[in-house]
Chain A
Amino acid sequence: MRTSFDEDFDVIVIGAGHAGCEAASACARMGCQTALVTISLDTIGQMSCNPAVGGIAKGHLVREIDALGGIMGRVIDRTGIQFRLLNRSRGPAVQAPRAQADRALYRTEMRHVLEFTRNLHLRQGVVTDFVIENGQVTGIQLQDTRRLRANAVVLAAGTFLNGLIHTGRSTYTAGRAGEPASIELADSLKRLGFPVGRLKTGTPPRLDGRTIDWDVFESQPADERPVPFSFLTETIEQPQVTCHIGYTNESVHKTIRDNLQESPLYSGQIKGIGPRYCPSIEDKVVKFPEKTRHQLFLEPEGYETYEVYLNGFSTSLPFELQQELVHKIPGLDQTKIIRPGYAIEYDFIDPRELTPFLQTTRVRGLFFAGQINGTTGYEEAACQGLLAGINAALYVQGREGFTLRREESYIGVLIDDLITQGVDEPYRMFTSRAENRLNLRYDTSDARLSPYGRNLGLLADSEWERFSSRRDRISKLRTALLATRFKRSSWEHAELSRLIEKDLGDSISLASLSQYPTVNPSILFDFLPASIKSYTTFSDLETTVGDLLYHGYIRTQQQNNERIRNQAEVLIPANLNFRDISGLSHEMVERLERVRPQNFGQACRISGITPGALSTLLFFLKTSKN
């Protein structure tokens, strides 16, 4: 074996998917010489499936990435072709932005951002193995015999490890359609002893938009005032497109039912577990037989292409059948499929192998991020990439690792869930996974996380400037809303009483007004005195009103958290031998050993652990301390 290296870096990131791009960008900006090695430089930031970013919980993640200084939000803001703020009629804690992307523009823009990042070096190549010396990773081996050196390696190989594509009965190895699978790299992980599992996901067919009868479908326009993902984006300038909504029908369902034996999902050909919240059309028809139709979205893939993404129709049926089914949908009776849908099975590594810093416990300096940790989704991948990148940089710089708490971020929830509970199916973020949903609003991620981003060196001076200014405006606005009152004699009082059909008393503060469910921020904005309007924006107002709205809840929640945290933060000594605790069964000891929780709170979230085992553990921790 050769011992010399062709090139030397501080950190190497493998894979330029959504995780890898964030990881490499963060490392480089934290001052590390960083190589981003990927199979093809032409598919940097490729969206393997749906050309869209955000949505409930996912949009929250993008906002958090952005607040920390990540790049996903900035890239989608420049390449999104249809922006919508979801749940607009509900409270701000469950609103989130979503955008349809121009798939090609997104790739180009992502590559552009990376190419213009200092210390960041793009390298095309297929990684086949790690170089490890004394339990510490020291570099990687490429297929073409090149060897690259680094003290930390972030692996973000997505769905590529032993990827196997299914359409009907035919299967072939691939990382995703059109790209090779990573077989040797998968083998080397197994050789290193990483526990590997198998998951599955799927994608729908893409259609020729010129052959669609658009008039048949209901249209779904973009928001008039697009809400951007990044705190740095002032306004979304690019033109906005319209999506369309349609439905399947009984005839489609019958054909699927009659041909289930052709579906690798039902023939037993696919062994991996797929996500329940992203079911294939086969699954929908089988599991909800009473539904007479299923919703479909026709989403344009970009400005410069007639390719259309048939959202809601993920399938791995044989191509001829896919075409036949599409023709049964009114409006698509003449439509040609450009790319067939397919299912892919791939290896993932049990994330309970990881420390909270996303470093593996088996090999020092080796970090895992993205889909290989059992998650699904670009946003889920990107936030792990960001955290893994940050921690890889901190690691080579000899600094202490960085984590986020569950109470302060969805990212913290995601990583904590992964490393304590592992995954049984591809993990996707939902707001209900967060105990403190009300406190994790999309519009407060800057207040929650930007100070960290700044400390880590991921927010430039000008960006920090923006952050501080917004923070100050909001605090000023809050005071003003509490202090400004409309008296009964004022025209505002009369107008507002009429508007919300309630007597507002002799005088009412703007803050109290904002608490009426019927007074939304746009109404309130119109009534702001000029003195306030002069320094504030609509988005400032929304955030401030949200703060006021949840204030009481958040206080109770914080008290609860305090109580829980006191117990949760009972530390578990790193060298504790769980076998020494009498009364813990073998199985419980094994579960604890696999995760090696650092505190009692983490132990509580380990899946399958019994309350009895927990009380035994807590009792042991509390008594053995003295």
Chain B
Amino acid sequence: MCDFSFEVQAAGTIVALSTPPGRSGIGVIRISGERALDFTRSLVRDPDFSPEPNRVTLKPIFDPDTLEVVDRAVVTFFKSPHSYTGDDVVELSCHGSPPLLLNILDVLLNLGARTADPGEFTMRAVANGRLNLTQAEAVRDLIEAQTHAAVRQAARQLGGELSKRLQPIKDVLLEIIVPLESSLEFVEDDLPEDIARNIEDNLFALSARIDEMADSFRRGRLLKDGLRVALVGRPNVGKSSLFNGLLSSDRAIVTEIPGTTRDTISEVINIEGIPVLIIDTAGVRPSPDKIEQLGIERTRRAIADADLIVAVLDGSLPLINEDEEIVREASSNHCVVALNKSDLESFCSNNAQRIDDNLPLVSVSAKTGKGLDALCAEIIKPFTAGYLDESSFVITNARHYDLLRRTSEALRAAQGLIQENVSEELILANLYEALRFLGEITGETTPEDILSQIFSTFCIGK
């Protein structure tokens, strides 16, 4: 139920810097708890300071020792329970100088505040009922989000989007359960004859909808976790040059000496919002050199772990058997062939004739940067085909995916039982199971909820 760990500490008013540490335009200090406003009053040296909730006020901040004005900050007050955590919250937007921010935090700690533990603001929000578990999980994803697309996705979930999307599904499920349950529980009552109509069709439509949501998981995971892409090829074909080209920086060492790269190195780049981890590897060749052998071993591991392999070939030279061998090995995974050094006169795309036509092939020049965009597009293509419509909703959490799948299985089992004409209590056993799985995402449906629905739908009572 609670698969992410929060630190548990004595209550109190907590404070933390809620923008990343380091020099930046502004730094936001968040104070949450009963004494949030108290502390702020001391900080601004104004005992009557009673800001209107949700409005910004510009206030001078004092150093209590020197009584000097250290900064002018934008103060926003969120009154309990209408704040992120549900407690009273004050946010101070100060200038983003680290010593200044540390100084203000110090003052607050001296006043009696406590440094918030990681995730503690969120934990308070969950505990105060401001966020449900789905939303809290989304917050965690949000904090870990690496790119804008993932941020947007997580933000959507934070708005209760998943719960919201599942609600109508749950409602339909309840509409199926209620008449079935009524017919069992209230046999002596005068219920409508055709009480359990269309159940089979409804169930079918329902499980299809859930499957569709579950299917979006693949894309969701892509947005959140990103891709691992390994650049693989013989020595000197230009892997490191390509790596640097993709990063737009001279991260890897490049020389004309074959066997320059010894160890794998990796960096994240952003391709259309997807975080892509690019891995440069040691060129593959038989070598007596101990260090090089170890590097090649790492290359093999990188190949095994990658979501996609870019097989780099030197297009200015005829291919040799080892090139083909590398491409063959790579093509057991998702694979793109990069024919490098297109800027050279000796470059000839016919050199790649012996490569399987079905593999995507891009001519590039690491030196001039030509063809790199096309290469990027090919890299994400197998993962985004038919998926990269950002407006549609996706599942990003493996737990949710699993629950949706199980919901759908339970619904299918119920369908099967209806076809076999078995008694309602068995069909219901499966429907309740489905409801329970959905409930683990959206919040529980209690027997009381179902009874209420029965009583408001049918006139029960002998």
A interface vs B, CB < 8 Å?
55-57, 86-87, 89-91, 93-94, 98, 276-279, 284, 287-288, 291, 294-295, 297, 311-312, 314, 421, 430-433, 437-438, 517, 550, 553, 557, 567, 580-585, 588, 607, 610-616, 618-620, 623-624
Residues of A within 8 A of B451 (CB): 276-277, 430, 432
For the A-B complex with A56-B187, A57-B185, A585-B129 known, give 12 more contacts whose Cβ atoms are closer than 8 Å: A91-B423, A94-B425, A276-B452, A276-B460, A279-B459, A288-B459, A432-B451, A517-B420, A611-B444, A616-B126, A619-B2, A623-B8
Q: Please state if A430 and B421 are interface contacts (CB–CB under 8 Å).
A: no
Q: Please state if B184 and A94 are interface contacts (CB–CB under 8 Å).
A: yes
| Stretch among B16-24, B130-138, B279-287, B300-308 lining the A interface | B130-138
| B189 sits at the interface (CB 8 A) | yes
Q: Please state if B8 and A611 are interface contacts (CB–CB under 8 Å).
A: no
Q: Please state if B184 and A295 are interface contacts (CB–CB under 8 Å).
A: no
Q: Please state if A90 and B2 are interface contacts (CB–CB under 8 Å).
A: no
Q: Please state if B461 and A583 are interface contacts (CB–CB under 8 Å).
A: no
Residues of B within 8 A of A279 (CB): 459-461
Task: Please tell me which one of the listed residues A288, A517, A610, A619 contacts residue B129 in the complex, with CB atoms under 8 A apart.
Answer: A610
| B447 sits at the interface (CB 8 A) | yes
| B6 sits at the interface (CB 8 A) | yes
Q: Please state if B459 and A613 are interface contacts (CB–CB under 8 Å).
A: no
Known A-B contacts A430-B447, A615-B133, A616-B127; the reply to A581 vs B8 at CB < 8 A is yes
Q: Please state if B133 and A611 are interface contacts (CB–CB under 8 Å).
A: yes
CB distance from A617 to the nearest CB of B (A): 9
- The answer for the CA separation of A612 and B443 in the assembled complex, in Å, is 10
> Would you list 24 pairs from A and B whose C-beta atoms are within 8 A, ordered by A residue?
A55-B188, A56-B185, A90-B184, A91-B423, A91-B425, A93-B425, A284-B461, A295-B462, A431-B184, A432-B181, A567-B1, A582-B8, A582-B12, A583-B11, A583-B120, A588-B127, A607-B448, A611-B132, A611-B133, A615-B1, A615-B2, A616-B6, A616-B8, A618-B2
| B257 sits at the interface (CB 8 A) | no
Q: Please state if B184 and A87 are interface contacts (CB–CB under 8 Å).
A: yes
Residues of B within 8 A of A581 (CB): 8
The closest CB in chain A to the CB of B5 belongs to A619
Q: Please state if B128 and A276 are interface contacts (CB–CB under 8 Å).
A: no
Known A-B contacts A94-B423, A618-B1; the reply to A613 vs B184 at CB < 8 A is no
Residues of B within 8 A of A432 (CB): 181, 185, 447, 450-451
Residues of B within 8 A of A618 (CB): 1-2
Within 8 A of A (CB), among B84-129: 86, 120, 123-129
CB distance from A517 to the nearest CB of B (A): 5
Residues of A within 8 A of B126 (CB): 583, 610-612, 615-616
- The answer for the CA separation of A567 and B425 in the assembled complex, in Å, is 27
Residues of A within 8 A of B424 (CB): 90-91, 94
Task: Please tell me which one of the listed residues B8, B86, B422, B444 contacts residue A619 in the complex, with CB atoms under 8 A apart.
Answer: B8
Residues of B within 8 A of A584 (CB): 127
Residues of A within 8 A of B131 (CB): 612
Residues of A within 8 A of B421 (CB): 517
B interface vs A, CB < 8 Å?
1-2, 5-6, 8-12, 86, 120, 123-133, 136, 181, 184-190, 420-426, 429, 443-444, 447-448, 450-452, 455, 459-462
Residues of B within 8 A of A295 (CB): 189-190, 462
Residues of A within 8 A of B136 (CB): 612
Residues of B within 8 A of A614 (CB): 1-2
Residues of B within 8 A of A580 (CB): 10
Q: Please state if A612 and B128 are interface contacts (CB–CB under 8 Å).
A: yes
- The answer for the CA separation of A219 and B354 in the assembled complex, in Å, is 90
Residues of A within 8 A of B462 (CB): 278, 295, 297, 311-312
CB distance from A58 to the nearest CB of B (A): 11
- The answer for the CA separation of A508 and B420 in the assembled complex, in Å, is 19
CB distance from A318 to the nearest CB of B (A): 22
- The answer for the CA separation of A89 and B5 in the assembled complex, in Å, is 50
- The answer for the CA separation of A610 and B133 in the assembled complex, in Å, is 10
- The answer for the CA separation of A304 and B353 in the assembled complex, in Å, is 105
The closest CB in chain A to the CB of B457 belongs to A288
Residues of A within 8 A of B426 (CB): 91, 438, 550, 553
Known A-B contacts A311-B462, A615-B2; the reply to A90 vs B425 at CB < 8 A is yes
CB distance from A222 to the nearest CB of B (A): 14
Number of A-B contacts (CB under 8 A): 145
CB distance from B403 to the nearest CB of A (A): 14
The closest CB in chain A to the CB of B132 belongs to A611
CB distance from B32 to the nearest CB of A (A): 11
Which residue of B5, B8, B181, B452 has the most chain A CB atoms within 10 A of its CB atom? B8
Q: Please state if B133 and A86 are interface contacts (CB–CB under 8 Å).
A: no
Task: Please tell me which one of the listed residues A56, A277, A433, A582 contacts residue B11 in the complex, with CB atoms under 8 A apart.
Answer: A582
- The answer for the CA separation of A277 and B461 in the assembled complex, in Å, is 5
Residues of B within 8 A of A623 (CB): 8
Task: Please tell me which one of the listed residues A431, A583, A619 contacts residue B124 in the complex, with CB atoms under 8 A apart.
Answer: A583
The closest CB in chain B to the CB of A618 belongs to B2
Residues of B within 8 A of A438 (CB): 425-426, 429
The closest CB in chain B to the CB of A56 belongs to B185
Residues of B within 8 A of A431 (CB): 184-185
Q: Please state if B461 and A86 are interface contacts (CB–CB under 8 Å).
A: no
- The answer for the CA separation of A585 and B190 in the assembled complex, in Å, is 46
Q: Please state if B127 and A585 are interface contacts (CB–CB under 8 Å).
A: yes
Residues of A within 8 A of B459 (CB): 279, 284, 287-288, 291, 294
- The answer for the CA separation of A399 and B175 in the assembled complex, in Å, is 48
Residues of B within 8 A of A430 (CB): 185, 447, 451
CB distance from A94 to the nearest CB of B (A): 5
Task: Please tell me which one of the listed residues A314, A421, A517, A582 contacts residue B422 in the complex, with CB atoms under 8 A apart.
Answer: A517
Residues of B within 8 A of A582 (CB): 8-12
Q: Please state if A583 and B127 are interface contacts (CB–CB under 8 Å).
A: yes
Q: Identify the 5 closest CB pairs spanning chains A and B, nearest first.
A: A612-B126, A615-B2, A295-B190, A91-B423, A583-B127
Task: Please tell me which one of the listed residues A55, A56, A612 contacts residue B127 in the complex, with CB atoms under 8 A apart.
Answer: A612
Known A-B contacts A311-B462, A583-B11; the reply to A517 vs B423 at CB < 8 A is yes
Residues of B within 8 A of A98 (CB): 188
Residues of B within 8 A of A613 (CB): 127, 129
Q: Please state if A277 and B455 are interface contacts (CB–CB under 8 Å).
A: yes
Residues of A within 8 A of B184 (CB): 56, 87, 90, 94, 431
- The answer for the CA separation of A295 and B12 in the assembled complex, in Å, is 60
Q: Please state if A619 and B423 are interface contacts (CB–CB under 8 Å).
A: no
CB distance from B418 to the nearest CB of A (A): 12
- The answer for the CA separation of A611 and B443 in the assembled complex, in Å, is 7
The closest CB in chain A to the CB of B192 belongs to A291
Which residue of B124, B190, B425 has the most chain A CB atoms within 10 A of its CB atom? B425
CB distance from A309 to the nearest CB of B (A): 11
Q: Please state if A294 and B8 are interface contacts (CB–CB under 8 Å).
A: no
Which residue of B123, B127, B452 has the most chain A CB atoms within 10 A of its CB atom? B127
- The answer for the CA separation of A160 and B254 in the assembled complex, in Å, is 94
Residues of B within 8 A of A517 (CB): 420-423
Residues of A within 8 A of B123 (CB): 583, 616
Q: Please state if B8 and A620 are interface contacts (CB–CB under 8 Å).
A: yes
CB distance from A165 to the nearest CB of B (A): 20
Q: Please state if B461 and A90 are interface contacts (CB–CB under 8 Å).
A: no
- The answer for the CA separation of A612 and B130 in the assembled complex, in Å, is 9
Q: Please state if A437 and B425 are interface contacts (CB–CB under 8 Å).
A: yes
Q: Please state if B423 and A90 are interface contacts (CB–CB under 8 Å).
A: yes
Task: Please tell me which one of the listed residues A55, A90, A619 contacts residue B6 in the complex, with CB atoms under 8 A apart.
Answer: A619
The closest CB in chain B to the CB of A283 belongs to B461
Q: Please state if A312 and B129 are interface contacts (CB–CB under 8 Å).
A: no
Q: Please state if A86 and B188 are interface contacts (CB–CB under 8 Å).
A: yes
- The answer for the CA separation of A299 and B49 in the assembled complex, in Å, is 73
Residues of A within 8 A of B461 (CB): 276-279, 284, 312, 314
- The answer for the CA separation of A89 and B187 in the assembled complex, in Å, is 11
Residues of B within 8 A of A276 (CB): 451-452, 455, 460-461
The closest CB in chain A to the CB of B189 belongs to A295
The closest CB in chain B to the CB of A424 belongs to B448
Q: Please state if A294 and B190 are interface contacts (CB–CB under 8 Å).
A: yes
- The answer for the CA separation of A270 and B188 in the assembled complex, in Å, is 28
- The answer for the CA separation of A314 and B447 in the assembled complex, in Å, is 26
Residues of A within 8 A of B181 (CB): 432
